[in-house]
A and B are shown apart, each in its own frame.
Chain A
């Protein structure tokens, strides 16, 4: 029974990582940008959620009214910068690593390196949980899973069903030819990067709800998020969600069967195997 609880809780935790991976995967797959600044946006949004909720007494969920538009603009501006300077895929990784380091430093200067936690009267979710049979799930992970599913399903529908989504797919498959048929890659790229930024704001909001904030959180996230992006298939949004659930469930199971410190070993062994045998991800898309 404890294994089942561990696997399901792990999967729910994994969905939060899938939510973080979503924006990264979209930008990587469609814009050929490996944007580590995505983690900087998540971190900043987390602290802004903390700051807004504590100073105004608003529910942390309500703060997305401010953080989502803000991070949309930030994401779009960063993409405009990449476009303006014609940054290549590898260079985007290096530049955005720099942006991440700077952000972590700035956040440390503003909010200190100490743990920050939302007071319980503003954040009732931290102490709530839902029981299903003999299993118990903390409210924050359920919220995270709910937002992850909503955002992944929305992104998949937009990509598949809308004209702009199909244009984006075409752009991801052959940018020169897509452009020759009138697809304005700058406009689409900026909109997509903005949407990724908006998703970073939502992921960021979920961290103070679920626990404490420290400025070095991004370095804990990067490994697992990259594992999910690669296992899910770069640019494959539903694959990202499946990979998040899978990685989370495996981490949870390994942690109770062996020790928590073995889970990275198992997860990254899986990544290496996937890169060797399924380089396009575990959940291949049609025609890809």
Chain B
């Protein structure tokens, strides 16, 4: 459903991605692994339309979305769970979820989506009127995922969802990724925790210094010397 071809992305004058090509199929979890600064978040932000690629193409279900404005991407079926969660901290849990469903297509399914998110994360229902900034780290991550799902994406971009979380919460987050996939949402998962990311994904890419240096099934990557050296630290 997603085809990224030959993407060059710059931060100012500094090139962060060099000819990156990545594909995600329907209902698939694809992992992007690599060390810190390898360009993983840059890739996600370019797909979301937050960063503008200088070269290359991004195609979503045969529609070229490379040049459409950032605020249109979510209507095309993409949502983001950003690195560091980036909730709207001074707003309630409910308002954060509400804004997740800002685009017109998601708005029409608001009640159904809210029920879905509350089933996935019952704690968000308990805390609906609490301010997002006052939640625990784990709860904030649940809310960030919930907000992303409220947009009713067909492709969910998840940027370091396990970062800074207690191990038990990390397990919960990865369980949710599998649930979401089972409900037909494709997931592009960027993770420094390569071991866990490769466990839930079917295919994976290894990024190093802004380039895709390896791609294959998650099993192949988990076994490969490059991935072991680069990120697993074995």
Contacts and interface: CB of A to CB of B under 8 A. Distances in A.
Nearest to B148: A181
Interface in A258-288: 285-288
A226 to B, nearest CB: 24
A177 B50 CA distance: 8
A170 B48 contact: no
Contacts of A288: 90
Contacts of A285: 90
A176 B50 contact: yes
B16 to A, nearest CB: 16
Given A166-B91, A287-B131, A288-B90, A183 B82 contact: no
B133 A181 contact: no
B133 to A, nearest CB: 5
Contacts of A174: 86, 88
B6 interface: no
Given A167-B102, A179-B50, A180-B48, A185 B71 contact: yes
Contacts of B80: 177, 180
B133 A170 contact: no
A182 interface: yes
Contact of B99 (A183, A184, A185, A286): A183
B131 A286 contact: yes
Nearest to A166: B95
Contacts of B73: 180
Contacts of B100: 181
A187 to B, nearest CB: 9
A178 B90 contact: no
A173 B89 contact: yes
Interface string A103-134: 00000000000000000000000000000000
Contact of B71 (A163, A169, A183): A183
B57 interface: no
Contact of A167 (B69, B99, B131): B99
Tell me which of B49, B88, B98, B132 has the highest count of chain A C-beta atoms within 10 A of its own C-beta.
Answer: B88
A182 B90 contact: no
Contact of A182 (B75, B88, B91, B133): B75
B103 A182 contact: yes
B102 A183 contact: yes
A170 B96 CA distance: 8
A104 B86 CA distance: 43
Contacts of A173: 88-91
Interface of B is mostly: mixed
Interface residues of B, number: 31
Nearest to B133: A287
Interface in A151-208: 163, 166-167, 169-170, 173-174, 176-185
B63 interface: no
B56 interface: no
A49 B100 CA distance: 44
Contacts of B70: 176, 179-180
Nearest to B95: A166
A185 B74 CA distance: 14
A288 B131 CA distance: 10
Interface in B24-42: none
B102 A181 contact: yes
A285 B131 CA distance: 12
B179 interface: no
A167 B101 CA distance: 11
Contacts of A180: 48-50, 70-71, 73-74, 79-80, 82
Contacts of A166: 91, 95, 98-99
Contact of A181 (B95, B103, B134): B103
B2 interface: no
A181 B90 contact: no
B91 A178 contact: no
Contacts of A183: 71, 99, 102
B147 interface: yes
A-B CB proximity, top 9 nearest: A287-B90, A182-B103, A287-B131, A182-B74, A182-B102, A179-B70, A173-B88, A170-B88, A179-B71
Interface of A: 163, 166-167, 169-170, 173-174, 176-185, 285-288
Given A166-B95, A169-B91, A183-B71, 14 more contacts: A167-B102, A169-B90, A173-B88, A173-B89, A173-B91, A176-B50, A180-B79, A181-B71, A181-B151, A182-B102, A184-B71, A286-B90, A287-B89, A287-B91
